[in-house]
Amino acid sequence: MSENQPSHDVLHRLVHAAMLAPTAENCQPFSFVWNGKSLDVHHNVERAAHPLSCNFLTSQIALGCLMEAIALQSSVESWSPHFSLHLPDQLIDSLEGNPWLSVRFEPSTSHEADPLLEGLPFRCTDRRVYQGGDPADPLLASLEADSSDCDSTALRFLSTAPPKELVKHIVACDELFWHKPEGALSALKWIRFDDEQVSSTQDGVSGGNLAFSRLETEVLRWMPRSASLFRTMGTFGGKVVYGYRVTQQLRSACTLGCFATSDLSPQGIVQAGRRILRAWIRLNMAGYGFHPYSMVSMVALGAQHQLTGPLPVNFQRLFREGQTLLRRHFGLGPSQSPIWLFRAGKVDPLPKKHRTLRRPVQEVFSYEPA
């Protein structure tokens, strides 16, 4: 390998850091190829496929997180990354086989580590009930101010506990899983119900991180993967139990946060992803849990721009109203589209056994010099 290119060990660490970025259900749809001049990042449609997929918007967000993770690791490797996106405005699935991103590296004289690199391995989604917190915490104002440095991305926090109107809307949006269970069944394939499943796959979400009771987890584990049965479960109490759990999660939060963008191109969505990862790490490092509610914002955005499959009429209306509701509660302008809603609150560290794993670097990284 040329002295003007990163060594094998450096590339290994860069890919490892990139793998620590979040992906939907921890599906880990990205793979990496070093071609001798750049690190190409490919997207696996099968791993990322979801019946409610909005032009792979969640993967675009994840790609931005991945880029920021590479930048964080590069800060201690004496290399400066230069990113080139290859995303068209639509039909992203047509890129199968071609890279979404290429990363070139140039020598850097800076050896100052980004302080967020320390928190990258501990960043996690925490679905547990939180212990509240202070909505006036200066950290939240600092995070909002940091987002203002970006031309297109904004972050806003609620200044009070989540209002009943917003809680009711989030619970109603999540009920889509019961009316269009193909989405729930698709997500279920990524749940790892025991230690053997976790260790053998090293992807997906640990059943212990779902914040369900043991009985609820066992029901999910053994129930037949049937859309009609799922609808029946929703009719006979499933929606009520799940809605109660979501309500408790929201009421336990210190605040809700919302990322918005005025640039809905793939480049704008990816840029927002970079901001999301930085805020996520900072909150985790300060003792906050972080729990995205992607159904509310991402599917609403996809429905607004005809990027989702057909939705029930009542949910089409609900999602359209949701954009207006989020703009009003978070003080967003008419040109700012909410794309990532989350709750945050003080909580004890998530037990290591409930943290999501990552596949080995050798499974996702290969050399294919031109």
Please give the domain boundaries of the chain with CATH numbers for all domains.
8-121+358-367 (3.40.109.10), 122-353 (3.40.109.10)
Contacts of 281 (CB under 8 A, 6+ apart): 116, 119, 120, 123
Which pair of tokens denotes residue 361?
């670097």
Q: How far is CA 238 from the centre of its chain?
A: 25
pLDDT over threshold 80, residue 365: yes
Helices (H), 7-116: 8-19, 45-48, 57-74
- pLDDT tens per residue, range 242-291: 888 899 999 999 999 999 999 988 999 999 999 999 999 999 999 999 99
> Which residues, 6+ apart, have CB-to-CB distance to 324 below 8 Å?
none
pLDDT higher than threshold 60 for residue 93: no
Between CA 229 and CA 233 the distance in angstroms is 6
**Per-residue pLDDT tens over the stretch 183-237:** 777 778 899 988 899 999 999 998 888 877 777 778 778 776 777 777 777 776 7
Q: Whole-model pTM? A: 0.93
161 backbone dihedrals φ, ψ, rounded to 5°: -60, 155
